[in-house]
């Protein structure tokens, strides 16, 4: 894919304060874990997350936008990423926010700041741009396919476990594949395990997404999203999530064993720790259950102690 990059910004630190502010306003978990990453992956992943979040905002706009508006925005966003320029982004952004797609303040601010995110994206290396744009285009296109699958009221119903997994791949499995490409980029120590990581990358994303779906199933249903297929036993979804999280744990330990940067080990291990704890709580107490800030702090501290002492991460969690 040929990217037009006439506006590559000369300052690689462009917009760091703004990008971090947008990250904090749009994600609790990733705002905690992304700063663990070493440069330049830290900057690449932060920008990638924000781009994926923009696509998510269009896909999630079930209340304020029609199906046709959501489809149009997702397709426009994918086309923008094939040949991104700030001027083109400004024109599209003005149209998107004229009738806001969602009422979440953080997501709306991010959408209005899309030109700044694209400007920061254009300051990345060519290889990072190719990886991020390719995967963001893929997720935007697959999301559009699921938007087409909704009814006139914007309600999405997934009619089986295979369809649920297809959806998880579209919105999260691709994220795992993109992150893997960025982790391996110009890191000789990770290149030999690249295939091993890629075999587990989509399962990593699927596991985290399944945990979110199980946790949020009650509120999702009231907002026009029925991700849990009616004919599938919930226990089967819990089992799939556990198998996926085991693959995610293998992914994390492989990076650690290969001598990957501690920051990448921490970034990948923390969401798995949080997902395991959340899954256990949801299974015991039902949808809507969340782990506390104290539990997050203790998991975070335990993970860093394991990394500092060169003990395998997640060893206690998955045993």
Please check whether residue 309 lies inside any domain of the structure: yes
> Is-contact 44 124, C-beta < 8 A?
yes
Taking every pair of Cα atoms in the chain, the longest distance, rounded to a whole number of angstroms, is 55
Q: In this structure, are 145 and 254 located in the same domain?
A: no
The per-residue b/e assignment along 279-315, b for 16 or more CB within 10 angstroms, e otherwise, is bebbeeeebeeebeeeebeebbeebbebbeeeebbbe
Please check whether residue 2 lies inside any domain of the structure: no
Number of domains forming the structure of the chain:
2
Q: In this structure, are 149 and 99 located in the same domain?
A: yes
Q: In this structure, are 174 and 52 located in the same domain?
A: no
Q: In this structure, are 15 and 149 located in the same domain?
A: yes
Sequence-distant (≥ 6) Cβ neighbours of residue 95 within 8 angstroms? none
Tokens for 64? 């304020």
Q: In this structure, are 64 and 168 located in the same domain?
A: no
From 101, 135, 153, the end of a domain falls on: 153
Q: In this structure, are 127 and 216 located in the same domain?
A: no
Please check whether residue 1 lies inside any domain of the structure: no
pLDDT (tens place) for every residue of the chain, 319 residues total: 333 333 333 344 457 899 999 999 999 778 889 999 999 999 999 999 999 999 999 999 988 999 999 999 999 999 999 999 999 999 999 999 999 999 999 999 999 999 999 999 999 999 999 999 999 999 999 999 999 988 777 788 888 999 999 999 999 999 999 999 999 999 999 999 999 999 999 999 999 999 999 999 877 655 656 789 888 999 999 999 999 999 999 999 999 999 999 999 999 999 999 999 999 999 999 999 999 999 999 999 999 999 999 999 986 554 4
Q: In this structure, are 170 and 314 located in the same domain?
A: yes
Helix (H) or strand (E) holding 226: strand 225-226
What is the span of the domain harbouring residue 248?
155-319
Look up the pTM and report it.
0.90
Tokens for 222? 């009231």
What CATH number is attached to the domain comprising 88?
1.10.600.10
Q: In this structure, are 174 and 142 located in the same domain?
A: no
């Amino acid at each position: 894919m040929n990217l037009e990059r006439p506006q590559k910004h000369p300052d690689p630190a462009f917009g760091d304060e703004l990008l971090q502010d947008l990250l904090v306003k749009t994600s609790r978990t990733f705002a905690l874990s992304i700063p663990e990453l070493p440069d330049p992956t830290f900057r690449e992943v932060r920008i990638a997350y924000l781009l994926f979040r923009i696509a998510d905002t269009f896909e999630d706009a079930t209340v304020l936008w029609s199906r046709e508006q959501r489809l149009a925005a997702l397709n426009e966003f994918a086309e923008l990423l094939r040949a991104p320029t700030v001027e083109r982004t400004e024109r599209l952004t003005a149209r998107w926010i004229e009738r806001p797609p969602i009422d979440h303040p953080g997501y709306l601010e991010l959408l209005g700041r899309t030109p700044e995110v694209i400007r920061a994206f254009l300051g990345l290396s060519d290889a990072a741009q190719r990886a991020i744009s390719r995967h963001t285009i893929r997720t935007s296109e697959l999301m559009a396919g699921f938007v087409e699958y909704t009814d006139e009221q914007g309600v999405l119903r997934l009619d089986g476990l295979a369809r649920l997994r297809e959806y998880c791949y579209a919105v999260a499995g691709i994220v795992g594949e993109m992150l893997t490409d960025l982790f391996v980029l110009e890191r000789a120590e990770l290149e030999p395990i690249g295939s091993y990581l890629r075999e587990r990358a989509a399962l990593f994303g699927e596991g985290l997404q399944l945990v979110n779906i199980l946790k949020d199933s009650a509120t999702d249903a009231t907002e026009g999203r029925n991700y849990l297929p009616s004919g599938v036993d919930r226990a089967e979804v819990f089992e799939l999530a556990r198998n996926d999280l085991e693959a995610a744990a293998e992914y994390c330990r492989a990076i650690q064993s290969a001598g990957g940067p501690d920051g990448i080990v921490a970034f990948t291990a923390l969401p798995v720790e949080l997902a395991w704890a959340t899954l256990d709580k949801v299974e015991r107490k039902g949808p809507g259950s969340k782990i506390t800030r104290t539990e997050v702090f203790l998991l975070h501290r335990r993970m860093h102690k394991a990394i500092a002492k060169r003990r395998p991460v997640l060893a206690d969690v998955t045993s």
